[in-house]
């Protein structure tokens, strides 16, 4: 059986993990992170632009994000974008910089964030299973066209299942770390 198929499949599954980790960086835990702003876009001369491309974003303290726009006209635009976002944070604008103070998470909010994390992890698992199905279909076609034998089909499907299980386990580990991060006080 051609190993290229397994490599392609693993690359696709790995991309799902990369996307999940990226999604998890935007779910805030107890500490401030510049990545919280990754999904916030502002209108910059007619095109939607990520905040980190129109301002320097830093984390001077564990509970604070500091946003310093390169163009002071962007202060209000960035402030409005943060207020519209689902971050639930109120920006403090002093005319030069925007400070985002992260309040302590309530137990209820932590549970909501854990639930959101589980939903994202489940979506990742579904994507991984869809990739498995896609490659199993390719193998079934190959067997139907007599490109591989029935025994090769069975062996290949077992190998695909092992790879799928490995990636599903990885999703579980990533989720467990994120839950721990959210629940830390």
> For residue 74, how many C-alpha atoms fall within 13 Å in the half-sphere facing its CB?
23
Residue 72 CB coordination number (10 Å): 11
From residue 148, alpha-carbon distances to 16, 106, 128, 159 in Å are 29, 57, 24, 15
Predicted pLDDT of residue 185: 57
According to the model, what pLDDT value does residue 29 have? 66
The fold of the 34-101 domain, in CATH, is: Gyrase A; domain 2 (3.30.1360)
Q: Per residue in 68-119, pLDDT tens? A: 999 888 888 898 888 888 777 788 888 889 998 887 778 888 888 889 899 9
Q: What is the pLDDT of residue 180?
A: 87
User: Tell me: the pLDDT tens digits for 144-183?
Assistant: 998 888 899 999 999 999 999 999 999 999 999 988 888 8
Q: Does domain 1-28+106-184 have CATH number 1.10.10.60?
A: no
| Contact criterion met (CB below 8 Å) for 16 and 175 | no
Q: Outline which parts of the chain fall under CATH 3.30.1360.40.
A: 34-101
What tens digit of pLDDT does each residue of 10-37 get? 999 999 999 998 888 777 666 777 777 8
Q: Return d(Cα 136, Cα 114) in angstroms, integer.
A: 33
What's phi and psi for 67, nearest 5 deg?
Answer: -120, 120
């Amino acid at each position: 059986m051609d190993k290229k198929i397994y490599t392609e499949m693993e690359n696709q599954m790995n991309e799902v993990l990369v996307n999940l980790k990226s999604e998890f960086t935007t779910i805030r835990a107890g500490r401030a992170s510049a990545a919280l702003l990754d999904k916030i876009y502002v209108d910059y001369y007619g095109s939607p632009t990520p905040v980190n491309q129109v301002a320097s974003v830093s984390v001077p303290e564990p509970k604070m994000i500091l946003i310093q726009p390169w163009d002071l006209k962007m202060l209000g635009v960035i402030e409005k974008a943060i207020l519209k976002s689902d971050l639930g944070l109120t920006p403090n604008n002093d005319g030069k910089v925007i400070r985002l103070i992260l309040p302590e998470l309530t137990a209820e909010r932590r549970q909501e964030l854990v639930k959101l994390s589980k939903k994202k992890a489940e979506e990742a698992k579904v994507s991984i299973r869809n990739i498995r199905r896609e490659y199993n279909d390719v193998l079934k076609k190959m067997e139907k066209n007599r490109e591989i034998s029935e025994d090769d089909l069975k062996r290949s499907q077992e190998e695909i299942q092992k790879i799928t299980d490995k990636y599903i386990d990885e999703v579980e580990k990533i989720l467990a770390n994120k839950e721990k991060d959210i629940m830390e006080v």
